[in-house]
């Protein structure tokens, strides 16, 4: 997908190999609708389980060599003329300069901006694209991407390969991804990797609600709110992430090497 000078979105380029075709997307939508309607026949449930397993394996194989990633969440609705798009692009560039792979949901808006920033710095850029009825397509700044039918598998991939998470302004999807990561950290299902909120003006009402309502009511602890790092400085964000990931967790930069006997290939 290209951005026109007026900020509107131009038609996307042809889908890359490994993506889902239109006919398969239609079938996928019908299958998911049936699945969410409640109990189905055992055969239909088993078929869905096999589809999910195949999608998991595909994600594991395609992203295994992505290297240490930082995931950027954010709205798909911002054009390149918006200040948050520009902020995300600068953040993506600084993350790439720090040696990390920039991972996003692969779509337009904030996701595209972060991937674009990574390419500005000649860094690595990957996307986990979700197949939607409105035909969301991967943005053109990705070295590699994987199409996912199921949100829960996509969210797993966005978390599995990352050592930090950056949330820029977004809608329901961004909040869903942000609070799932926060829950995983709170419950110690993952280590206390940095969770950054960029675009402080946008997030301020949410932080106030967390402190003044949820902490007061005892549904969360003050430490759960203090865990968020709030910053609008791309350089400061990148430096903080590098410090935590490299020192606290002993992360070694680099990527796994493909094994020819496993028929593995690297996207780089």
Q: Within a domain: residue 48?
A: no
- CATH number for the domain harbouring residue 71: 3.40.50.450
Tens-digit pLDDT string for the chain (268 aa): 444 444 444 444 444 444 444 455 555 556 666 666 777 788 988 998 999 999 999 999 999 888 899 999 999 999 999 999 999 999 999 999 999 999 999 999 999 999 999 999 999 999 999 987 765 789 999 999 999 999 999 999 999 999 999 999 999 999 999 999 999 999 999 887 899 999 999 999 999 999 999 999 999 999 999 999 999 999 999 999 998 877 766 665 555 566 655 666 665 6
DSSP per residue, 91-138: HHHHHHHTTPEEEE-SSSTHHHHHHHHHHHTT--EEEEEEP-TT----
Q: What is the pTM of this model?
A: 0.81
Residues 6+ apart with CB under 8 A from 146: 18, 58, 59, 62, 63, 127, 128, 129, 157
Q: Within a domain: residue 37?
A: no
pLDDT at 168: 98
Q: Within a domain: residue 124?
A: yes
Q: Within a domain: residue 258?
A: no
Q: Within a domain: residue 213?
A: yes
Q: Within a domain: residue 173?
A: yes
pLDDT at 131: 86
User: How many domains, in total, are found in the chain?
Assistant: 1
Q: Within a domain: residue 242?
A: yes
* Domain span including residue 122: 57-252
pLDDT at 140: 95
Q: Within a domain: residue 151?
A: yes
């Amino acid at each position: 997908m290209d951005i026109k000078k007026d900020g509107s979105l131009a038609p996307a380029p042809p889908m890359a190999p490994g993506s889902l075709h239109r006919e398969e997307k239609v079938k996928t939508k019908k299958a998911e609708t049936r699945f969410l309607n409640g109990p189905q026949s055992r055969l239909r449930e088993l078929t869905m389980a096999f589809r999910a397993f195949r999608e998991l394996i595909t994600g594991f194989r395609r992203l295994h060599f992505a290297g240490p990633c930082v995931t950027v969440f954010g709205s798909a609705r911002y054009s390149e003329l918006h200040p948050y798009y520009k902020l995300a692009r600068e953040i993506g560039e600084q993350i790439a300069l720090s040696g990390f792979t920039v991972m996003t949901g692969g779509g337009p808006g904030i996701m595209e901006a972060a991937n674009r920033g990574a390419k500005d710095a000649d860094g690595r850029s990957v996307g986990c694209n979700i197949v939607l009825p409105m035909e969301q397509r991967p943005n053109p700044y990705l070295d590699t991407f994987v199409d996912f039918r199921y949100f829960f598998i996509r969210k797993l991939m966005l978390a599995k390969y990352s050592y930090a998470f950056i949330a820029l302004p977004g809608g329901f999807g961004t909040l869903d991804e942000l609070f799932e990561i926060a829950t995983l950290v709170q419950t110690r299902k993952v280590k206390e990797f940095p969770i950054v909120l960029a675009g402080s003006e946008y997030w301020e009402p949410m932080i106030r609600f967390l402190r003044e309502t949820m902490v007061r009511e005892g549904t969360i602890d003050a430490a759960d709110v203090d865990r968020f790092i709030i910053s609008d400085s791309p350089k400061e964000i990148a430096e903080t992430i590098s410090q935590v990931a490299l020192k606290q967790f002993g992360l070694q930069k680099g990527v796994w090497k493909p094994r020819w006997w496993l028929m593995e290939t690297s996207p780089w």
